[in-house]
Amino acid sequence: MGIRTRFMIIMGILSLLILVALGWASYEFSRRAALKEAASKGEIILNYLQAQRQFFRKNQTPLISELIEKDRFYPNLMSGFAASTTTFEYFHQRMPGFMIKYAASNPLKENNRADAFETKILNQFKADPDRKEVSGTIAKNGINFFYQAVPLKVDNQNCLECHSDPAIAPKDQVAIYGSESGYNWQMDEIVANLMVYIPISEAIAQAKQTALKLLGIGAGCLLFTLFVISLFLERGVVQPLIRLNNRTEEISLGKGLDQPVVINSNDEIGSLSRAIDRLRISVARMLTRR
Ligand code: HEC
């Protein structure tokens, strides 16, 4: 195998490795940036929802309970959870893909029942009550989401007016939601997660595309560089070596001893050509001496 072929194979393999590493790094950086951005969006949504519920609890509920009879119950007026879920449905219409859920293992509203994945997170919070948040990624129906979950605790005796015994809950509430599920909650029990799902499929696809573009541009640049190096090797190394090789063979056979071997360059090849030329002169002298 010639010098040039060997050199080009090594360069080709090295370039390929560098390209793959660059592509992977680009994908990984973009993916991490996408997750970080999703996390900050999730943080905003979570805090906004918590603030909205706080408003309900502190500012709205006391006024409404003065205005409405004890057994009357209008979910969107009187439950911060209902109001927040309904508000988010409108949000979802404007920004499809984003989802929230008050996922409970024993919910009043059936839509809020935790699925297997949400139950696992709920159990994590129950096992470690100091834990404030769980986050990660999950695929739901083929779409990738970044999720953030915070635990919801029965932190007030008021909660038990509606969530303990159906007999003491507002009659309207029992009429709307039934008396089967959503009751017998205990004080300080972690009963639900607030789950926020941020879509990331698009950002991940974008990360892949950026990595592929970088790979394409990198491959183009490397191919061009390899081509230029190959040309240089052909002209600057391989061809002169072949010439020197042919001349040396001629000299060894006593031919062409009157033609100088000169390659005008200041590198190793020039120096080799001068050495061969001195050899030519010596051989010529030895032959004339005989
Ligand atoms: C006036 C009655 C009432 C009070 C007081 C009340 N809730 Fe609820 N809660 C409801 C109703 C009704 C729903 C269902 C809302 C809906 O339709 O989305 C609900 C829903 C929830 C949910 C979502 C899961 C589910 O069961 O559907 C959680 C979690 C929750 N409540 C926790 C609490 C906590 C914690 C408190 C106390 C801080 C509290 N609730 C106080 C009536 C009440």
Q: In this structure, which residue's CA is closest to atom 31 in ligand 1?
A: 81
Cβ–Cβ under 8 Å, residues 205 and 106: no
Q: How far is the CA of 104 from the centre of ligand 1 (A)?
A: 10
41 contacts: CB under 8 Å, gap ≥ 6? 198
Atom of ligand 1 nearest to the CA of 176: 12
Cβ–Cβ under 8 Å, residues 102 and 182: no
Atom of ligand 1 nearest to the CA of 73: 1
Which residues line ligand 1 at a C-beta cut-off of 6 Å? 75, 78-79, 81-82, 85, 102, 104, 107-109, 112, 152, 154, 156, 158-159, 161-163, 170, 173, 177, 182, 191-192
Tell me the C-alpha to C-alpha distance, in Å, between residue 277 and each of 69, 103, 107, 269, 271: 115, 89, 97, 12, 10
From first to last of its 290 residues, the chain has per-residue pLDDT tens of 888 899 999 999 999 999 999 989 989 998 999 999 999 999 999 999 999 999 988 998 889 888 888 778 888 888 889 999 999 999 999 999 999 999 999 999 999 999 999 999 999 999 999 999 999 999 998 899 999 999 999 998 989 989 999 999 988 999 999 999 999 999 999 999 999 999 999 988 988 898 899 889 999 999 999 999 999 999 989 999 999 999 999 999 988 888 998 888 889 999 999 999 999 999 999 888 76
Q: In this structure, which residue's CA is closest to atom 17 in ligand 1?
A: 82
98 contacts: CB under 8 Å, gap ≥ 6? 45, 88, 91, 92, 196, 197, 198, 199
